[in-house]
Structure 1
């Protein structure tokens, strides 16, 4: 699989997309708490990047909701993500790190990819460059703005809850 990286120009507001949003320069994240996004908890599976994508989210505890993600192509893990949505003062932030199939980190040791909260709706949460939407109790869409080979596009992860 080609190396996929998140585009860092997003935070400057230079790219627009259909399902994701950005904070305007100088704009702060709105007030929110983890209970506002507790509908994300669960075990989710779907297809993306020609393989099977899986996310497992915990319930809120200790001012965070932790998650793990893996993408499997042709029976092998292409990459993992580990992270959380964390309570940060009177708002929330999504932070993650990427790892290849052998758990070698993509980001530097003390660096994370941070997605600040832009907007919150009852069944939809907009972080910078990443939107999560509850379709119903068994379906969730996640839209992620990515860059590959200098092209920017929004990728849909259409998940179904594993029972």
Structure 2
């Protein structure tokens, strides 16, 4: 299982940076985007994605930040976890993620994270390079994540969530 976790970690780490680089540059932000714009993301969400059951949660916006978590489960066991930070940054928003194995050993170096550059935010959508969150009704969200493997092949992972709190 540990080998699978490390292989998956390597795939995501290898895929994240090229996928981010392959996306068009973020458009300049005309006016500051307050985090309150995406308050709809706060709550606990469950659904399917990456071939397993997923759980994601976001705290309410507070002092320019929202903290979040994510876990992927397969065959009744955790595959990996993420700690996430959505924050106001340079007039827009920034998404920062740190990945962890089931035993909570980190994937990124101590002072590193996987960061997604801001593209846009609205009452129903939050877009970054390589990841988009879209509200699909009051209690549903769809997340599209674009990943590139070590051979340069890009795939789109779709997460279908329903609010459970």
Fold conserved (TM > 0.5)? yes
| Structure 1: 5+ residue stretches without partners | 16-21
* Residue 79 (structure 2) pairs with residue 78 (structure 1): yes
SS of 1:7's partner is helix
Structure 2 equivalent of residue 113 of structure 1: 114
**Structure 1 stretch 87-96 or stretch 138-147: which is displaced more?**
87-96
The question of whether the paired residues in 2 share the 8 Å contact of 1:71 and 1:78 is answered with yes
Change over 3 Å in CA distance of 1:112–1:28 after alignment to 2: farther
Q: Which has the higher strand share?
A: 1
The aligned counterpart of 2:46 is 45
Shift of 1:23: 2.0
Cα separation, 1, equivalents of 2:28 and 2:113: 19
Q: Is the partner of 1:23 in helix, strand or coil? A: coil
Aligned to 1:155: 157
Unmatched 5+ stretches in structure 2:
none
CA contact (8 A) 1:142 1:158 kept: yes
8 Å Cα contact 2:20-2:116 kept in structure 1: no
CA distance in structure 2 between the aligned counterparts of 1:91 and 1:119, rounded to whole angstroms = 8
Distance 2:99 2:20 in 1: 19
Partner of 1:23: 25
Deviation of residue 149 (structure 1)?
4.5
Residues 65-121 of structure 1, C-alpha deviation per residue, up to 9 Å, x if partnerless? 100100111111000000110111422101010001111111111001111111223
Distance 2:122 2:18 in 1: 25
User: Pairwise CA RMSD of aligned residues?
Assistant: 1.7
The answer on 1:101 being equivalent to 2:110 is no
Q: Distance in 2 between matches of 1:95 and 1:29?
A: 19
